[in-house]
Structure 1
Amino acid sequence: MYDPAHFLPSFVWRAARDGFIQYANPWACRYLGIELDELIGRHWREFIHHQDEECVLNALRQMRDTLLSNVDVRLLRVDHEFRWHTLHLQATRDQEGRIADTVGVAIDIHECRHAWELYEASERRLQAAFAGARMGAWEWDMTTRVVRMTAQLAEMYSFPPGTESAMLSEIWDRVAPEHREPFQRKLAEALHERGPFEFDFVLDGVATSRRWVRMRGNPEYDARGVLTRVYGVSFDISDHRADEERLSLSERRYRALVESTGALIWSADANGEIHPSSGDWQNFTGAPRDRLSRWGWLDFIHPDDREQTRKAWLAALRQGGPCTLTFRMYRRDGVFRMVQAQAAPLYDERGNLQEWFGTTTDVTPRYEAQAAIEARSLRLTVAMQAAKIHIVSLELATWSLMFEIVGKQRPEPAETVTYEAALARIHPDDAPTLDRYVRRLAAGDAPGEQFEFRVKDSDGERWMQGSALLQRSNDGKPLRIIGSLIDITERKHMELVLRESGRRKDEFLAMLAHELRNPLAPLRTAIALLQKDETLSTRTDDLIELMRRQVEHMTRIVDDLLEVSRITQGRIALKTEPILVGTAVYHAVEAIAGMVESRKQHIQVDVPDATTWVCADVTRLSQILVNVLNNATKYTPEQGQISVSVEADQDWVSIVIADTGTGISADLLPKVFELFSQGERTLDRSNGGLGIGLSLVKKLVEMHKGTITVQSPGPGLGTTVTVRLPRLHHHERHSAMALTDGSGLETQAALRVLVVDDNRDAADSLAMLCESEGHVTRVAYSSEEALAATQFDADVALLDIGLPDIDGYELARRLRRKGASAPLLVAITGYGQAEDRLRAQSAGFDYHFVKPVNVESLLKLLSSLTTERPAGRIAEQ
């Protein structure tokens, strides 16, 4: 009798009611490694794992209305290994309605079970890693507009506990109102560029306070370029601490085992022409059997798999041995299903191939489960890459450390090292603290949520910030420590820079307070002496000279501060003109000659070519050279040497100023041009300044398209400063303009001067100064008094700008009628920016003085005035 099961490449047996085997096909005999004669009469329990016996008995007990049942069991193979099979049981009844015997067909699912166990292990490890990272993960389904989220993200967005999904609009509505428009704009730009994105925004929590959130994500598009989903992670950066999180992507997992094999049975002749042997083929494909016969079955294979499957079948025919083919096959509902065909050859007694027998099983669930695992692993990997997280695992049984590879479809250990070797890579100052943290965590304590340490590598040191959790076994014993690490080197460097900047700021404020107190002390003493009895009148000139020097010193301090601010903000415009370098050098030396003489120093000037020219701003070039020379004389001891030399080549002019002073240490030398940078300041170095001189000089030199360098062999070995400026050649148009002021205009015997200032001391002292030169003055302490003094008929009006009732601009317009030339208007103000001078000019002022007023310049102006003066011009004083 023809028995198809005899040739079926699957495990088939039949057992009696008492469980003793009555029949087994050759495939089962080969699997068990027992001949059929020896197998008949043995109980089926001998070949099933003892833990699975009860499962089989339960399946048999449940056979009531239907005589079919399935159960997963482990069958003993010939090599004494138990392998998982799905056992399909079908029973028959005797005349009394009782179960007579049972037929079992076993399908090997061991590899599928093993793959599922690997997946679950990988899933647990990744979930534990994301929980250790304390991040919130999400996935936006752009088709349904549904957001799937982790519990951490739901808590971060103030959703009720247990929320796993929400509408996309609900997520966006939780963004703070003032951040909502930038959030949507940045998101639209990121999705348009189709790449990973990252940006920060503020959440307006319902149950919690507002918090900053950093979101990193990646969009996904289908084959037509349509956005299908966006996935990523979010974490709270309000206090740079990630909340405990676990990444959960709530998607349906494919079942690893198939409820029914749905096997299609077929046979083929020696030439490989297929003959379907049952009606299941027609039920599966929806086509009649004659269309599937011979080679017609190839038409139902997916076009991409058709040629490869045909070649594989022909190769099996040539080899003449069992084979397994996997391909996609058309199903009657229009869907291509992944199937697996297994074929075994049948030979006659003489060894001639007669025919083939085989089965074709739908294995789509298995492949879909594998694809889901790979896609899930890929999404988790991309999320970790977006968050820049490194995953480490410390196995406490062996104290070995494993680093996860990010970027593969399935995370694998990239490197395994001992705990001691890993600890040796940590900075010596941080290793003990980190070791205590790890050992306390391994002991079950909670040492803290985060830790920081430095790692030594080929590039130097890198700062890492991490968090970790302890994973226990089912019986509660510590199993492993899983942690996440983030590189925070850049943030640490920024912290060091800010700390250094704060230190220099504090030092600068201390120096500023010291420098401002220095001139205030003698000023207060001089005023106290002047208030004493008249016997001090013989020393009045000395006291006045003392006060003048200190006021000038304070003025220089304030001017330096304002100058740095103006240059930094780009509010200084150079008035360049051809200048003889030798003239500029000699004028600068002349300006500091008094200081050199008082300190008994020796200065040498060497200008070999007196006709060397540069194009520069007269005032700023003098400021550069005087500032450098001031530093040289301040830091050079008595009897010290200072030299100034000029060298020129075809393109550049170099002005070299060298001294034999205190020099500059190697650690300070790279910072001499930084704002507020100074060497060590001691109590006896009261002339150290504010540390802004060289910074100001460098900016001025660069505005002239030049360079400045400072060299010093070390402390006590002197300093050399070299200023290089572009050379102006003889063939270029130039004029030898002197650095000194031009001659004044013809003087007028006496002027009528109106002084307006709400500060009585300032107004009275300024009037007394004008009267000392023979001028007639009238003082007004308010704008109303000034307007009432029309009969005074002033030639000159010295006006304060910041008057309380009517400001100086409006007063100027009222004092001088439109078209008139008198009185000549002079602004006396504390506002000295460029826009302040422009505003004064538009108000009608002729001259502009900045407080404290340069007395010599003001007196020189008054002495140079004539009845005819230029109109519509504002002069900087």
Structure 2
Amino acid sequence: MHDPAHFLPSFVWRADRDGTIRYANPWTSRYLGFPAAELVGLHWKTFVHPDDIDRVLDAVRQMRDGTLLGNVEVRLLRADGEYRWHVLHLQAELDANGRIGNTMGVATDVHEARHAWAMYEASERRLQAAFQGARMGAWEWDMKNRVVRMTSQLADLYGFPPGTDAIALSDLWDRVETEYRDLFQQKLDEALQHGGPFEFDFLLDGGSSSPRWLRMRGHAEFDDQGTLARVYGVSFDISKQRAAEEQLSLSERRYRALVQSTGALVWSAGPDGDIRPAGDDWSRFTGDEVVRLSDWGWLDYVHPDDRDSARQVWLDVLQRGTPGSSVFRLRRYDGQYRMVLAQAAPLFDSHGKLQEWFGTTTDVTAQYEAQAAIEARSLRLSVAIQAARLNIVTLDLASSTLSFEAGVEPPIDDGLTYDEALSRVHPDDRTTLERYVHSVAEGNDPRANFEFRLPNAGGEQWMQGSALLQRGTDGKPLRIIASVIDITERKQLELMLRDTDRRKDEFLAMLAHELRNPLAPLRTAIALLDKQPDPAVRSQELIDLMRRQVEHMTRIVDDLLEVSRITHGRIVLQLEPVLVGTAVYHAVEAIAAMAEARHQQLHVNVSDPTVWVSGDITRISQIFVNILNNASKYTPENGHITVTVEADGESVLIVTQDTGTGISAELLPKVFELFSQGERTLDRSSGGLGIGLSLVKKLVEMHNGTIALHSDGPNLGTTVTVRLPRLHHHERHSAVALSAPAPGRAPIAFRLLVVDDNRDAADSLAMLCESEGHAVRVAYSSAEALEAAPRFMPDVALLDIGLPDIDGYELAKQLRRKGDTRPLLIAITGYGQTEDRLRAQSAGFDYHFVKPVNIDSLLKLLASLTNPAP
């Protein structure tokens, strides 16, 4: 026969003292998903939720104290893996020694009931929360027993102790404000007589606290005999609503008082716009009866120029049915027109129908004039800011945001945070700028402007500014206001000037080097001549050496003077047809010796030898000689130099290519700048004075041409391309033929007076002239010259200009009185500018030579003279 538990649809098991299951009914086996045989030997903890095991153990411990029965709610693991709530009834069995032996457990599923209870509790909590949030409480009056049952929220509203849920009806009425009790009783009686729902407001006695307004909504029920049985409903706190209504009423009273205090003229209008001025203020303002302003009569007082616009604005407001305003001039009692602001607002009834318009008209002449003055001042300030190209930057210290008022396009977008703006500043300038800002924010006076760079697509934008700290009324820092101006052009000019100054210093150093180079062999040659017992030995070699070095120094000085003359526009080209091929071949011949000495190969390719250009033959040759000289100088030994002449219908291209040292990418954009030099070495095997290419570029441009350089980099050679306008056949004209030289004639010997405070220069020039058969007298000062001239009676005077006592100009005037032709005056000077030549001419000089004197030219001049007079 089966155990009765075998048929129970409940969870039944038996476990020994250690908690091992010894028996489980079929229901338990099906619930747990284990065959009964497999359940035996498992511990009951296997099927109990881990969080509920301690509660089971506590129930077992209580049974050890003598109570053999115990109940506990636990969650048991079902076969599908879900835990469900059960009430576990435990019964213990005592062994022969009176100790707990086996324990039987019977579990009843209460999961659905527990869930329903939880739902109910949640609903109750939500209801209570709703009551609490709405400051509302529910109640029920038992009119037969005169008892009121209420929720905790209502008890709190009435001020009853916590936990109060029922009171006598009289206690509830005692809580009504004393002065309001009769009215409360009257309203309640009226509501209860008719039955059904009712609502009214009343005031509670707040005791020491402020009074509280409640709104009661209820419903009365009567029994079969018509006797009032119960009243139930809700009450909620409307204190804030009543306070708001009181505040609104107070605000309205204040508004009316404010309107009156401002002197505004109050008026109203019907829905159709007919004006109804209110009060005597209109009469005092206009000096006329109010009736004359009614309806549309007010337009007669508006300035004629404003009348149409004021009327149209009012019509537009009426059509829209929304608040509006208008500014116009209104005539005052004294005939003056005052600027007024008319404002109108529509008033609607409870059904949304327009009832009337309420408006005010305020004299705003003073504000209007002040605003006009502010706008005029703002306009002047804006114009000044734009003229100065200023940017006004404000840093709000509380929010760390920047705002901008720019005279030009702002360098930074408006509305940036301080950190965002700082991130746009050049990394090298951020620390300095941030230190400046912090110093100003701390109240320090930096006493200096700040500068920073803003990187952009075009490079860098330099900004400069100054700042001040603005404080609040409490003295705390509010904001930093800075004026910032773009100084990019100035900075670029500064950097350019610095670079130019640097290149000038380098140039002067190289010029000193270049000038010392020929001085050394000159000094050596002089020493050799001085030491040789027989001057005729090797004298020609030394003279040739000195001639070469003097010519080299002369070329350096000539290049400097050429640049100066071209820069100041003092060179006038003598234009004539020039065969480009011929000019190129002459330039190649000029540097052929240099190229041969360096074992360089020169290649010339002239596709059309009949190509002409219009140019100054001397300057054209100067261009090509400079280019070829550079090519040879910067090309190593055994290198190649190629010159190609090509022509199209408009231009002639002269391309010079070499296999030399090339030009670095850094130097390439600057090669045509004055004093720009390549890398230099102490032996002068490379580098230059930085004059040649600048001179060439200016000469090419004077011929309406262009010049370009290209190099792929160091040691990859250089290509120079000169483009000149082509001269076509119909544009050419015959060059002026030079007359045949005059037949030779016997040279004439002259008496020459040489005046120079430099004894070596004077003596050497005298020796040269004596070698040509002239009689020469030397004077080392103006005084000596004036003393010797009457006795010597010179035919020609060669005068230095820079004499220490009396300069050459004054000496010339004293040697040859006005109207005389003797002696013929020749200036020997280091000053060769145009103004120097003009000054020499005005002083009476016939010829002008620049030191170092071209000896051949001087001797040719003396030889060409047939008599001393010009």
* 1:419 to partner: Cα distance: 3.3
Q: Is the 8 A contact 1:266 1:358 kept in 2?
A: yes
Structure 1: stretches of 5+ with no match in the other structure? 1-19, 21-34, 48-75, 88-103, 110-256, 873-877
Counterpart position of 1:855: 855
Q: Is the 8 A contact 1:754 1:780 kept in 2?
A: no
Counterpart position of 1:679: 678
Q: Give the partner amino acid of 2:756.
A: D
Residues 684-731 of structure 1: CA distance to partner in whole angstroms, max 9, x if unpaired?
A: 226743211111122222222232222222221222223333333333
Q: Please, what TM-score do these two structures have when normalized by structure 1?
A: 0.61
> Does 1:331 pair with 2:329?
no
Corresponding residue SS for 2:832: coil
Counterpart position of 2:587: 588
Corresponding residue SS for 1:106: helix
For 1:320-399, list aligned pairs within 5 A. Answer: 328=328, 329-334=330-335, 335-338=337-340, 340=342, 360=360, 362=362, 364=364, 368=368, 371=371, 375=375, 384-398=385-399
Change (3 A) 1:372 1:839: closer
Q: Is the 8 A contact 1:580 1:736 kept in 2?
A: no
Change (3 A) 1:753 1:702: farther
* 1:786 to partner: Cα distance: 6.7
Counterpart position of 1:260: 261
> Does 1:644 pair with 2:643?
yes
Q: Is the 8 A contact 2:274 2:294 kept in 1?
A: yes
* Higher helix residue share: 2
For 1:393-792, list aligned pairs within 5 A. Answer: 393-398=394-399, 400-405=400-405, 415-439=414-438, 441-442=440-441, 449-471=448-470, 479-532=478-531, 534=533, 538-685=537-684, 688-735=687-734, 743=741, 745-749=743-747, 751-759=749-757, 760-781=759-780, 785=785, 788=788
* 1:299 to partner: Cα distance: 1.9
Q: Is the 8 A contact 2:754 2:766 kept in 1?
A: no
Change (3 A) 1:313 1:633: closer
Query: What is the aligned length?
Result: 635
Corresponding residue SS for 1:429: helix
Change (3 A) 1:380 1:764: closer
* 1:683 to partner: Cα distance: 0.9
Counterpart position of 2:288: 287
Change (3 A) 1:571 1:365: closer
Q: Is the 8 A contact 1:405 1:414 kept in 2?
A: no
* 1:83 to partner: Cα distance: 8.2
Q: Give the partner amino acid of 1:638.
A: E
Q: Give the partner amino acid of 2:695.
A: L
Distance in 1, matches of 2:448 and 2:567, equals: 44
Distance in 1, matches of 2:308 and 2:444, equals: 62
Corresponding residue SS for 2:537: helix
Change (3 A) 1:742 1:407: closer
Q: Is the 8 A contact 2:515 2:553 kept in 1?
A: yes
Distance in 2, matches of 1:738 and 1:322, equals: 99
Distance in 1, matches of 2:641 and 2:273, equals: 106
* 1:423 to partner: Cα distance: 2.5
Aligned residues with identical type, % of pairs: 62
Q: Give the partner amino acid of 1:585.
A: V
Distance in 2, matches of 1:466 and 1:278, equals: 59
Corresponding residue SS for 1:724: strand
Counterpart position of 2:128: none
Q: Is the 8 A contact 1:338 1:367 kept in 2?
A: no
Corresponding residue SS for 1:534: coil
Structure 2: stretches of 5+ with no match in the other structure? 1-178, 180-198, 212-239
Q: Is the 8 A contact 1:780 1:786 kept in 2?
A: no
* 1:679 to partner: Cα distance: 0.6
Q: Is the 8 A contact 2:317 2:324 kept in 1?
A: no
Q: Is the 8 A contact 2:579 2:613 kept in 1?
A: yes
* 1:642 to partner: Cα distance: 2.2
Change (3 A) 1:709 1:435: same
Change (3 A) 1:574 1:487: closer
Residues 573-602 of structure 1: CA distance to partner in whole angstroms, max 9, x if unpaired?
A: 222333333333333223223222222222
* 1:37 to partner: Cα distance: 11
Distance in 1, matches of 2:351 and 2:595, equals: 123
* 1:558 to partner: Cα distance: 1.4
Distance in 2, matches of 1:343 and 1:719, equals: 85
Distance in 1, matches of 2:712 and 2:342, equals: 83
Change (3 A) 1:617 1:403: same
Q: Is the 8 A contact 2:287 2:333 kept in 1?
A: yes
* 1:304 to partner: Cα distance: 5.3
Distance in 1, matches of 2:381 and 2:250, equals: 32
Counterpart position of 1:106: 254
For 1:160-175, list aligned pairs within 5 A. Answer: none
For 1:145-160, list aligned pairs within 5 A. Answer: none
Change (3 A) 1:658 1:764: same
Distance in 2, matches of 1:865 and 1:419, equals: 84
Of structures 1 and 2, the one with the larger relative CO (CA 8 A, separation 6+) is: 1
Corresponding residue SS for 1:708: strand
Change (3 A) 1:296 1:505: same
Corresponding residue SS for 1:632: helix
* 1:368 to partner: Cα distance: 4.1
Corresponding residue SS for 1:538: coil
Q: Give the partner amino acid of 2:749.
A: L
Change (3 A) 1:796 1:743: farther
Corresponding residue SS for 1:299: helix
Distance in 2, matches of 1:439 and 1:657, equals: 60
Corresponding residue SS for 1:639: coil
* 1:853 to partner: Cα distance: 1.5
Counterpart position of 2:223: none
Q: Give the partner amino acid of 1:709.
A: A
Change (3 A) 1:471 1:753: same
For 1:85-104, list aligned pairs within 5 A. Answer: none
Q: Is the 8 A contact 1:449 1:468 kept in 2?
A: no
Please identify, of 635-644 and 265-274, the stretch whose mean Cα deviation from structure 2 is larger: 265-274
Q: Give the partner amino acid of 1:434.
A: L
Distance in 2, matches of 1:314 and 1:373, equals: 31
Corresponding residue SS for 1:731: helix
* 1:286 to partner: Cα distance: 1.0
Residues 634-682 of structure 1: CA distance to partner in whole angstroms, max 9, x if unpaired?
A: 2122222223333333333333333222221222122111111111112
Q: Is the 8 A contact 1:77 1:83 kept in 2?
A: no
Change (3 A) 1:364 1:726: closer
Counterpart position of 1:228: none
Q: Is the 8 A contact 1:393 1:483 kept in 2?
A: yes
Change (3 A) 1:78 1:706: farther
Counterpart position of 2:192: none
Please identify, of 372-381 and 825-834, the stretch whose mean Cα deviation from structure 2 is larger: 372-381
Residues 794-838 of structure 1: CA distance to partner in whole angstroms, max 9, x if unpaired?
A: 665544445567765676677779998876654433333345445
Q: Give the partner amino acid of 1:595.
A: M
Q: Is the 8 A contact 1:584 1:622 kept in 2?
A: yes
Q: Is the 8 A contact 1:758 1:803 kept in 2?
A: yes
Distance in 2, matches of 1:448 and 1:803, equals: 54
Change (3 A) 1:331 1:525: same
Distance in 2, matches of 1:269 and 1:868, equals: 120
Please identify, of 709-718 and 496-505, the stretch whose mean Cα deviation from structure 2 is larger: 709-718
Q: CA-atom RMSD, angstroms? A: 4.8
Residues 410-461 of structure 1: CA distance to partner in whole angstroms, max 9, x if unpaired?
A: x9x9843333323222222222333344445556666665422222345543
Residues 478-529 of structure 1: CA distance to partner in whole angstroms, max 9, x if unpaired?
A: 5544444333323222222222122112111211222222222333333334
Counterpart position of 2:167: none
Distance in 1, matches of 2:764 and 2:540, equals: 16
* 1:370 to partner: Cα distance: 8.3
Corresponding residue SS for 2:462: strand
Distance in 2, matches of 1:528 and 1:85, equals: 120
